[in-house]
Amino acid sequence: MNNFTDPAILFFLLGIFSGLVKSNLEIPAQVSRFLSLYLLMALGLKGGFALHESGFNTQVLGGLGAAVVLAVLVPLISYPILKRCTSAFDAAAIAATYGSVSAVTFITAVQFLEKSEIAYGGHMAAAMALMESPAIILAVLFANMARKQAKGAGAETVPGKGFGHLLQESFTEGAQLLLLGAMLIGFMSGSAGKEAMQPFTGDLFKGMLAFFLLDMGLTTAKHLPKLKAVSKWMIAYAVLAPLAHATLAWLLAQAIGASVGDTALLMVLAASASYIAVPAVVRYAIPEANPSLYVGLSLGITFPLNILVGIPVYVQWAGVQIG
């Protein structure tokens, strides 16, 4: 399926174009926040309804387990590679950014699967939530090791906020709680709830996603100029790392026998990079890191590449079987 004929993707391109030509088109911050919360709530409900129908089984547990493994492996693999190209603190922040996930990329992939009539498990929304925090925790540990190497054993564990507070912040972030809470509500209400919420989770969803991607296009355009100062090695990482992470996800999905839809979503999650949740925590946890670098790479390069090209590629790739 040609992703460039999808209205939501075309609105994303319109947002980029509007930003690049310096149009006064603007989405108010509160409206953008509402759209983000709506999409997460609708996604959580959809996942809960689907999970109510399928129930918990080995496929569900395997998918959740694979998601956690990916969330740990990606930053562990990325950090030593990134340290060869940049400072230890920037490496830790970028490893956290690419080890975590982009909810908008995931939601766009879900919409693509539904349009393509490819089934997927409702538990994949829970997998997305589980993948938020491990990378943040590992990045804080990486940064602490870097501080101790630079200043000796007497260095503070985390400047500004305690490690325990950061853990609590990463696990209780409002958007993540909304996603999981909506999933629980969808699971509890079942088919009756699905019918009652159809106008909310079904009819409105496509339009709201298009509106939000218009805003994301405008935001992406703002970050593109920052990439002029980024080294070619970092730009190469932002392009190639998602492919490597998607390959790792595909191998894990093959090992657990995941369906095509679940495999595609696992690949999308692994290939995506956070530009909201992780930067919000990392800016306090690793103040030595350069935000324009880790946000610029994820939002200026990886996010548009995944939205425009990556998702259809991952979906097609997910159907390839070993042997």
Q: How far apart are CA 128 and CA 255, in angstroms?
A: 19
- The answer to whether 78 and 95 have CB atoms below 8 angstroms apart is yes
Distances (CA, A) of 7 to 3, 204, 227: 9, 14, 28
Please indicate, yes or no, whether the overall pTM of this predicted structure exceeds 0.75. Answer: yes
At 158, the pLDDT band (50, 70, 90 cuts) reads: very low
Which pair of structure tokens corresponds to residue 114? 């539904």
List the structure tokens of 289.
């890191």
pLDDT tens digits, residue range 221-235? Answer: 988 887 888 889 999
Per-residue pLDDT tens digits for 35-92: 888 988 888 888 888 888 877 788 888 998 999 999 999 999 999 999 998 999 999 9
Tell me which residue of 256, 201, 172 sits closest to 46, measured CA to CA. 201
pLDDT value at 205 more than 50: yes
Of 206 and 163, more confident: 206
Please enumerate in sequence order all residues whose Cβ is within 8 A of that of 88, keeping only pairs 6 or more positions apart, or say none. 142, 143, 145, 146, 149
Q: Return the minimum-mean-pLDDT range out of 90-94, 113-117, 127-131.
A: 127-131
**pLDDT for res 230:** 85
pLDDT score at 81: 93
Domains and CATH numbers, the chain: 7-12+28-316 (1.20.1530.20)
Mean pLDDT, all residues of the chain = 86
Residue pair 306/102 in contact (Cβ under 8 Å)? The answer is yes
Question: pLDDT band at residue 157, thresholds of 50, 70 and 90?
Answer: very low
CB count, 10 Å around CB of 248? 20
Q: What length does the chain have?
A: 323
Contact between 110 and 151 under an 8 Å Cβ cutoff? The reply is no
Q: Are 275 and 106 in contact (CB under 8 A)?
A: no
Specify whether the CB–CB gap between 95 and 135 falls below 8 A: yes
Q: What is the pLDDT of residues 263-281, one digit of tens each?
A: 999 999 999 998 877 777 7
Stronger pLDDT, 180 or 31, i.e. the higher one = 31
Q: Are 1 and 115 in contact (CB under 8 A)?
A: yes
Q: What is the pLDDT of residue 152?
A: 60
So what's the pLDDT on residue 323?
54
